[in-house]
Structure formats: structure tokens, C-alpha cells
Amino acid sequence: MVPNSRKSNKKDESKRRLSSTERRRLIIEAAVPLFAQEGFRGVTTKQLAKQAGVSEALLYQHFPSKDDLYAEVQRFSCNPSEELRIMLEGITPSTKMLVLLLYFMTKMIVEHVGFGGTHDPLFPRLMLHSLLDDGAFAREHFHQVTNRMVSMIQRCIAAARAAGDLVSDESDDALVFWFCHHTLVAINMYQLPLVPVMPYHGGSKDALTAPVMRFMLRGIGLTPKATRKYVQFDELAAQVEQWLCNAGKGQDA
Amino acid sequence: MVPNSRKSNKKDESKRRLSSTERRRLIIEAAVPLFAQEGFRGVTTKQLAKQAGVSEALLYQHFPSKDDLYAEVQRFSCNPSEELRIMLEGITPSTKMLVLLLYFMTKMIVEHVGFGGTHDPLFPRLMLHSLLDDGAFAREHFHQVTNRMVSMIQRCIAAARAAGDLVSDESDDALVFWFCHHTLVAINMYQLPLVPVMPYHGGSKDALTAPVMRFMLRGIGLTPKATRKYVQFDELAAQVEQWLCNAGKGQDA
DNA sequence: ATTATCTATAGATCTATAGATAATGC
DNA sequence: ATTATCTATAGATCTATAGATAATGC
């Protein structure tokens, strides 16, 4: 009965009309990789239209200007994932969780592993473009996403200190977390160009995971004893795997 | 006799003609901040001409295209400083020098202190633009400049290990150096937008120096004993001050 | 005489809009 | 009848060049 119930006809599909919200969403999704790759000024409305499979005029039906589309692309790209929130809720702060969360961050930032599998590094590119611009997107992301991690990791650091797993000194826990984060982000950043920038980029991506983990944990002040106890990469990998798989299946983990 | 022998006349000065090499140099110097701020596509030849105080046509007398001018700006901005080479030549690898070189790097990257005083963060911006592009400038810079630091710091790490100032483990000295470098670079990067991105950016710039030094040195594996002995910020500041002042006065330091 | 410099402009894009057309849902 | 979509194009830049002008050095 319904005319377009058959999906085999490509012409029908390509000429099919979408609702305003559907089309709007598709345009944004098509625009993300373009803006991420080339930046706001590096993309033309012509390219945006072509990538989205529509005319340039239609872009302006959905977005008053190229600026507005870019803003929507940024908003879309920094939606805080529900999975992360659920994951963090299930955590009781401890030394073990400190190590695990850092491992998780390392996988996400250095190896681009996310809840939906491995991603193209679109997000870091949008982030750099924003930092070279006004930084608004960067601020929004830290407000929406990173801060959740921060407070949890800070609590884990506190728990580790209470358990005697950290060398005691006067360092600021929040700062130390950011330094770890920064190390990972910079590794990721130097991976962006097709031709490798850093000498250590010869090997595979996960070749850096263990060294940078050790560096960060020592920087945080984890004792050698605690390191031997908690830094077992096989176990860490298994646990993170489980997090990534369970995500989206509700809180029944 | 000579019409423009008087220099008080501004019109004469503004109409004065320069040699090809002088003008070329001035155009490049005027273009650096523009390209650093806005990126290649964010700057028009009109702006470049205005900033250099010449017509657009003259730009094309000196550079075949905007691309070529950009390439020259990059080449100009990553000239390895003679001062650094001289400074590094005068160093004998040791734990003390390891700490000092890291302090020096921190001052340069986080606080923008250089041989000619404090700089605008033009260089890091060019670097980020390059990383979002093909990374050629980044590779060239590491080839020209950073690698000199790397080999010296690696030798310092080796010396520190030999002196028993490092906890002994299997970490890769070169990697560990890069992680330190990355931490500093990322701190710098998040400082770029006018509106601060990171919560820790509330205070003054040098508020981060001590914490990040401690983080890096612990990450490298400096023992608590060696840390107490060598990490005296007053002395470090004095020594770096001396380096910066002596630079350019020849090898007689 | 040479060459540094400018004015004026061609030709190619690029953003955005006006107005026409055709698919959709009642 | 409504609205998603397109074609065609206006108007504003943007890069680059042609050809004219004026300062410089011999």
C-alpha cells in the first residue's frame, strides 16, 4: 500500500523527501567530517551541499548561515554520551579504578577507541580548530564531558592516597589529572597528519599505551608496590572491553 | 642635494623604496602574525598587503602565490636559533642538567619565555595549523630544533640513571622525554584562546611551572632524594636567566 | 636604465536569496 | 494545501596579472 515500502529502487530512494528534522540531521552529520578536516573557512557551502547530497539552497532552508551550521556541528559533536555517565555511576573510587580509568582514557584518546568501536579522529580535529579560534567548543566539551571524568578520577586519587598507594607530597590532584590528560591529548594531536610527525610513530598505535600509562601513573605518584599490583594490562584490557560492550544495555551491568 | 636626506618627513619615509631582499623580509615578517592567528585560509592577500604596508600586486612580485608566501613564513618561523645550539654545546650531561633543561623547556613552552624576552604565542599557533594540515612544518621544526634538545636530554637521563638518581625500570628514555614535552605543549595549547579553557588557568602563568615540573620529573623517575637535591626553583630560575642573558654574546660564557 | 611600486581589473569563487517545481499528507 | 527541494543568479570577495608610474643607482 505505502508507495515507498520497496527500498530496492535507488531512484525512489534518492528522490525521497525527508522530514525537516531528518534532513537537518543528515546535513549536520555530513558536515561534521568536512568541518573537522578543513576547518570552518576550509569548507565551502558547495562542498557541504554535495556531501549532504542536496542543493546549496536547501542548506539555507535549514540553517540561516554557514556559521549557524558550523555551530550546530559543534553542538552535535560534543553531546555527552549517556554511556559514559552510566559507566561512571557504577564506579566506587579506588586505586584499582584510578588505574582503570586512566587506561580507559588512554584507549579513547590515543587509540581512538570509543563506545561504538574505533572512530576517525574527527573530534580532536574539531577541538584543535576551536582552540585556534575562540575556544568555545573546547570549553563546552569540558563542561559537558571531561569534568565528569575529572571529579571521578580526583576521587579515585583521594582513595588511592588514603589506601597508601600514593607517595605523599604536596601535589594538586586536579592539576596532576590534567597533566595526564594533556599528555594523551598531545600524543593524539601529533598523530593527526598522514605523514607521521613524531619518531615514535613508527610502530602500532597501542605500542604507546603501556609506556604512557607508566609515565602517568608515576607522575601521579603511584607507588612501585601498587603499580605491580594494579597495572596488569591484560586485566585492564578485559575490563575496558566489558565496559565498552555493556554500554547502552542499561544499568544492569 | 639628495631629496630624501631628511628623515623627519614621514611622507618621504613611507614612500622610501627598499631593496628587493629588504622588502621581501618585511612582507614575511608582517605575514607571520596574520597566518599564525588565522591560518592560511583565514587571511586574504588584501590583509597581508595592508599589514605589510604595500599593494597586493607587490606581494606577487616577491612571491609567486599566496601559498609560496605561506611556505616562506613557515620557513622563516622555524629557523633553528643559534643561541640554543651554543647553549646546548656548553652542557655536560648530568642529573642537574636534566632538571635544568626541563625547567628551561617549561619556561619556553608554558610561559613563552625565549631568548629575546617573552613572545606572543605565534609559533604554537603555526604548529597547530600545520598539524591540522599536512604536518610538514611540524616535522621540519622537530628536525631543526627539538631533536637537538632530545638527544641532550636523553644523555642527561642516561647520566642521571648512571648516578643512581632514577628509579630503575624498563621505560624508554626517548618516549619519556616526549611525554614531558607533550604535557608542556598541551598546557600551552589550552592557553591559546582569549577566554580560558581550563579551570587551572585562573592564576598566573608561572603557577603551573612547579607542579608540572614535579609531575614530569616523577614521570621520568627521579628519586625523591635527587628531587630534594636538584629541584630548587630559585636556583633554576637564576641559571635560566643567565642562559637567556648570555645568549648571543658568543661562546665566551 | 633599472627596478620597486602602484592602480585598475579580469576571472574565479563563495555565500546567500528569489522564485519555480514537485513530492507529501490531509 | 503544505512544504521539501531545486535552478538560477545577485552581489561580494579573493587571487592573480597587465600595464603604468616613479624612485633609485650608474
Q: What are the extents of the domains in chain A?
A: 4-77, 82-252
Cβ-contact B98, B159 below 8 angstroms = yes
Instruction: Report CA torsion sign: B55, B60, B66, B71.
Output: negative
Residue range B4-77 forms a domain whose CATH class is mainly alpha
Q: What is the pLDDT of residue A247?
A: 65
Q: What is the pLDDT of residue A189?
A: 97
Q: What is the pLDDT of residue A229?
A: 97
pTM, full prediction: 0.91
Cβ within 8 Å of residue A238, ≥6 positions away: none
Across the A/B interface, how many CB contacts are shorter than 8 Å?
144
B226: number of CA atoms within 13 Å, CB side? 23
Q: Both ends of chain B: CA-CA distance in Å?
A: 48
The count of other CB atoms within 10 Å of the CB of residue A174 is 17
A182 contacts B183? CB cut-off 8 A: yes
Strand D and A253 CB separated by under 7 Å:
no
Cβ within 8 Å of residue A109, ≥6 positions away: A124, A181, A184, A185, A187, A188
- Name the amino acid, one letter, at A137: F
From the CA of A37 to the C1' of D4: give the distance in Å: 29
Q: What is the pLDDT of residue A193?
A: 96
Alpha carbon distance B247, B253 (integer Å): 8
- pLDDT < 50 regions, chain B: 1-12, 250-253
Cβ-contact B100, B239 below 8 angstroms = yes
Q: What is the pLDDT of residue A9?
A: 38
The count of other CB atoms within 10 Å of the CB of residue A71 is 15
Interface check A190 vs B, CB under 8 A: yes
From the CA of B207 to the C1' of D11: give the distance in Å: 52
DSSP conformation letters of B152-165: HHHHHHHHHHHTT-
Q: Per-residue pLDDT tens, chain A, 253 aa: give them.
A: 333 333 333 344 556 788 889 999 999 999 999 999 999 999 999 999 999 999 999 999 999 999 999 999 999 998 777 888 889 999 999 999 999 999 999 999 999 998 877 888 999 999 999 999 999 999 999 988 888 888 899 999 999 999 999 997 778 888 999 999 999 999 999 999 999 899 887 777 789 999 999 999 999 999 999 999 999 999 999 999 988 887 655 444 3
B190 contacts A182? CB cut-off 8 A: yes
Strand D and B51 CB separated by under 7 Å:
no
The DSSP 8-state label assigned to residue B223 in this structure reads: -
Residue A150 DSSP SS3: helix
From the CA of B220 to the C1' of D19: give the distance in Å: 65
- Name the amino acid, one letter, at B43: V
Q: What is the pLDDT of residue B252?
A: 41
Cβ-contact A46, A26 below 8 angstroms = no
Cβ-contact B201, B190 below 8 angstroms = yes
Instruction: Report CA torsion sign: B17, B22, B25, B30.
Output: negative
The DSSP 8-state label assigned to residue B251 in this structure reads: S
Q: What is the pLDDT of residue A11?
A: 40
B41, B135, B200 member nearest A175 (Cβ): B200
Interface check B44 vs A, CB under 8 A: no
pLDDT tens digit sequence for B15-41:
678 888 999 999 999 999 999 999 999
A239: number of CA atoms within 13 Å, CB side? 18
Strand D and B13 CB separated by under 7 Å:
no
Give the B window 117-136 contacts with A, CB below 8 Å.
125, 128-136
Residue A114 DSSP SS3: strand
Give the A window 131-160 contacts with B, CB below 8 Å.
131-136, 138-139, 142
Cβ within 8 Å of residue B191, ≥6 positions away: B110, B121, B197, B201, B205
Q: What is the pLDDT of residue A3?
A: 38
Alpha carbon distance B180, A207 (integer Å): 17
From the CA of A98 to the C1' of C8: give the distance in Å: 68
Cβ within 8 Å of residue B183, ≥6 positions away: A179, A182, A183, A186, B212, B215, B216
